[in-house]
């Protein structure tokens, strides 16, 4: 009898252990690409994320589905393309009665059903670590998170927590106030600036100009500042005894905060970093060894499906994201797709597809591409007005001039292995390997647009997008050249 009782207790204990679920922490960087030390970036100080990469797996071919925050976040919070769910225009469906398609739900709701406490955090132990940003193109689905209190999570495990970094964007609107704020949150001394206008090398699609070097140094120093806050989070996770029970996933919502980055489907706008660190108290899945590098092609919507799988939640039938690690990992992608549609008042329809080497971009919209008017860009990104001024004076040359002159509709093809800055368009090349890549990626994009139900060809009614012109003019003003 005693043996039976002990056996029953043992089986019950084992069953409880098997049912135990890990905590999951998303650290979402804002507007960055591979500009971290662990990715080989120079003149940037990211010791915390570099350490995370040494303790986890670093992914090299991860792409956002949109080069701007709201559509990208709308996609990775659902695990579905924004072009499928009608959330593809920037800041859409904020004031109407739009509901997500039947069967499509925010990931956090699925985690709550599985017993997870969900949190979107701004502070930890009095330190400002995040913005609490959601910025979703759906607002009628009920509360997305249950709490913003870090201290409550230890007693409410398993938890899923999201922390959205604000470091890389916060100073583009009011740089003097931001400089003062930066001193205050670090303490009496500002964090060391590792990038200076003298030691940085901006991408060759910008003119060689002191302002460009100054802006590039500012961006890299902002990435270093982001790493400081992430360090606070990782340290607190350890102090609270949660580190060994928590899967940490770091990624960015879209590419760089630079004129040709954010909003554009170039690599600088859609290629993002991602690091996953596995906790000691749970057996690591195959492919998650500390210090490893994963080169498979990943879409950010795959992070959603993978997070659910880590939590023991079966991927829903409609979900377009794929599980990329663990016993339920799906076949790796051959292609990653991205799409850009209206951004505020600027209407552009652009689609792109990556394979392991080539990147194909198709612009459907007529007229200027990079040089089109976006008041937010004109006000907050001084490189863009500089390029306009230099072009008017006949001083702009090379890739920078070609960027300003590009018009749609058009096709572009880049070899990202040989040309990481994507300045040599191969779409007109007669080399067989380039013709093959162009034909294959063109067909892959056509197929994806049909199979995914891409809604980009459906125009928004004028009454929907016209108010953005007035709104953006009120916020940022309209440059004189655009008033003519």
Instruction: Tell me the per-residue pLDDT of 306-325, one tens digit each, with 9 for 90 and over.
Output: 999 999 999 999 999 999 99
Shared domain check, 305 and 375: no
Q: Tell me, what DSSP letter sits at residue 151?
A: G
Shared domain check, 411 and 316: no
More confident residue, 328 or 170: 328
Q: Is residue 312 part of a domain?
A: yes
Last-in-domain residue among 334, 354, 378: 334
Domain containing residue 286: CATH number: 3.40.720.10
Shared domain check, 330 and 361: no
Task: Give the residue from 341, 368, 367 showing the smallest Cα distance to 352.
Answer: 341
pLDDT of residue 291: 96
- Average pLDDT for the chain: 92
What share of the chain in percent tops pLDDT 70? 91
Q: Give the span between the Cα atoms of 145 and 108, in whole angstroms.
A: 7
Shared domain check, 309 and 403: no
Q: How many structural domains is the chain composed of?
A: 2
Q: Is residue 5 part of a domain?
A: no
Shared domain check, 280 and 133: yes
Shared domain check, 167 and 101: yes
Shared domain check, 313 and 366: no
Does residue 167 carry a pLDDT above 70? no
Q: How confident is the model at residue 169 (pLDDT cuts 50, 70, 90)?
A: low
pLDDT of residue 166: 75
Q: Is residue 409 part of a domain?
A: yes
Does residue 183 carry a pLDDT above 70? no
Task: Give the residue from 7, 16, 130, 137 showing the smallest Cα distance to 65.
Answer: 137
pLDDT of residue 354: 98
For 94-134, write each residue's pLDDT tens digit: 889 999 999 999 999 999 999 999 999 999 999 999 999 99
Q: Give the span between the Cα atoms of 418 and 357, in whole angstroms.
A: 9
Our measurement of the distance from residue 317's CA atom to the centroid of its chain's CA atoms, rounded to an integer in Å, reads 24
pLDDT of residue 171: 66
pLDDT of residue 67: 98
What average pLDDT does this structure show over 433-460?
97
pLDDT of residue 185: 42
Q: How confident is the model at residue 172 (pLDDT cuts 50, 70, 90)?
A: confident
Inter-residue contact 349 to 355 (CB < 8 Å): no
Q: Is residue 49 part of a domain?
A: yes
User: If you count them, how many residues does the chain have?
Assistant: 484
Q: Give the span between the Cα atoms of 41 and 50, in whole angstroms.
A: 11
Shared domain check, 49 and 164: yes
Shared domain check, 472 and 390: yes
Does residue 186 carry a pLDDT above 50? no
Does residue 188 carry a pLDDT above 90? no
Q: Is residue 9 part of a domain?
A: no
Q: Is residue 412 part of a domain?
A: yes
Shared domain check, 145 and 67: yes
Shared domain check, 393 and 282: no
pLDDT of residue 462: 86
Inter-residue contact 413 to 426 (CB < 8 Å): yes
pLDDT of residue 463: 87
Shared domain check, 365 and 317: no
More confident residue, 180 or 61: 61
Q: Is residue 7 part of a domain?
A: no
pLDDT of residue 203: 97
For 222-273, write each residue's pLDDT tens digit: 999 999 999 999 999 999 999 999 999 999 999 999 999 999 999 999 999 9
Answer whether the bond into residue 266 is a cis peptide, omega within 30°.
no
Q: Model pTM?
A: 0.93
Q: How confident is the model at residue 2 (pLDDT cuts 50, 70, 90)?
A: very low
More confident residue, 178 or 269: 269
What average pLDDT does this structure show over 158-177?
76
For 333-381, write each residue's pLDDT tens digit: 999 999 999 999 999 999 999 999 999 999 999 999 999 999 999 999 9
Q: Is residue 245 part of a domain?
A: yes
Answer whether the bond into residue 460 is a cis peptide, omega within 30°.
no
Last-in-domain residue among 284, 307, 334: 334
Does residue 11 carry a pLDDT above 50? no
pLDDT of residue 193: 72
For 131-163, write each residue's pLDDT tens digit: 999 999 999 999 999 999 999 999 999 999 999
More confident residue, 168 or 422: 422
Which tokens hold the place of 20?
């135990």
Last-in-domain residue among 316, 334, 352: 334
Q: Which residue range is the domain that position 105 belongs to?
A: 22-334
What average pLDDT does this structure show over 44-62?
97
Does residue 28 carry a pLDDT above 60? yes
pLDDT of residue 173: 67
Q: Give the span between the Cα atoms of 332 and 319, in whole angstroms.
A: 16
Q: Tell me, what DSSP letter sits at residue 275?
A: E
Neighbours of 404 (CB within 10 A): 18
Inter-residue contact 148 to 119 (CB < 8 Å): yes
**Burial code of 422-451, b = ≥16 C-beta within 10 A, e = fewer?**
bbebbbeeeeeebeebbebbbebbeebbee
What average pLDDT does this structure show over 199-203?
96
């Amino acid at each position: 009898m005693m043996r039976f009782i002990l056996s029953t207790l043992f089986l019950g204990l084992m069953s409880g252990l098997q049912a135990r679920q890990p905590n999951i922490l998303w650290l979402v960087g804002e507007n960055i690409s591979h500009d971290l030390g662990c990715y080989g970036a120079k003149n940037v100080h990211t010791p915390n994320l570099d350490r995370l990469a040494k303790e986890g797996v670093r992914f090299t071919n991860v792409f956002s589905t949109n080069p701007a925050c709201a559509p990208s976040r709308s996609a990775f919070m659902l695990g579905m393309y924004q072009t499928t769910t009608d959330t593809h225009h920037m800041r859409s469906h904020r004031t109407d009665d739009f509901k997500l398609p039947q069967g499509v739900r925010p990931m956090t709701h699925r985690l709550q059903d599985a017993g997870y406490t969900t949190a979107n955090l701004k502070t930890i132990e009095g330190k400002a670590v995040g913005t609490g940003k959601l910025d979703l193109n759906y607002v009628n689905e009920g509360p997305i998170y249950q709490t913003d209190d870090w201290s409550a999570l230890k007693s409410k495990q398993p938890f899923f927590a999201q922390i959205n970094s604000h470091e890389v964007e916060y100073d583009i609107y009011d740089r003097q106030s931001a400089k003062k704020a930066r001193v205050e949150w670090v303490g009496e001394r500002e964090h060391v600036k590792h990038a200076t206008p003298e030691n940085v090398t901006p991408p060759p699609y910008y003119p060689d100009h002191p302002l460009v070097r100054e802006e590039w140094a500012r961006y890299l120093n902002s990435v270093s500042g982001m790493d400081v806050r992430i360090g606070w989070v990782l340290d607190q996770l350890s102090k609270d005894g949660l580190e060994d029970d928590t899967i940490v996933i770091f990624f960015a919502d879209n590419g760089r905060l630079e004129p040709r980055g954010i909003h554009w489907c170039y690599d600088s706008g859609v290629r993002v970093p991602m690091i996953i660190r596995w906790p000691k108290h749970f057996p690591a899945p195959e492919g998650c060894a500390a210090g490893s590098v994963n080169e498979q092609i990943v879409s950010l919507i795959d992070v959603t499906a993978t997070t659910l799988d880590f939590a023991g939640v079966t991927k829903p039938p409609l979900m377009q994201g794929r599980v990329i690690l663990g016993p339920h990992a799906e076949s790796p992608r051959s292609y990653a797709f991205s799409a850009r549609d209206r951004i505020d008042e600027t209407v552009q329809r652009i689609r792109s597809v990556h394979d392991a080497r080539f990147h194909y971009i198709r612009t459907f919209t007529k007229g200027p591409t990079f040089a089109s008017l976006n008041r937010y860009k004109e006000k907050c990104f001084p490189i863009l007005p500089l390029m306009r001024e230099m072009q008017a004076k006949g001083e702009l040359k090379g890739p920078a001039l070609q960027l300003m002159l590009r018009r749609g509709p058009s096709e572009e093809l880049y070899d990202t292995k040989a040309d990481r800055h994507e300045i040599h368009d191969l779409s007109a090349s007669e080399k067989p390997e380039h013709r093959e890549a162009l034909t294959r990626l063109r067909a892959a994009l056509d197929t994806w647009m049909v199979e995914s139900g891409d809604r980009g060809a459906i125009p928004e009614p004028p009454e929907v997008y016209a108010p953005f012109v007035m709104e953006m003019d009120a916020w940022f003003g309209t440059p004189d050249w655009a008033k003519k």
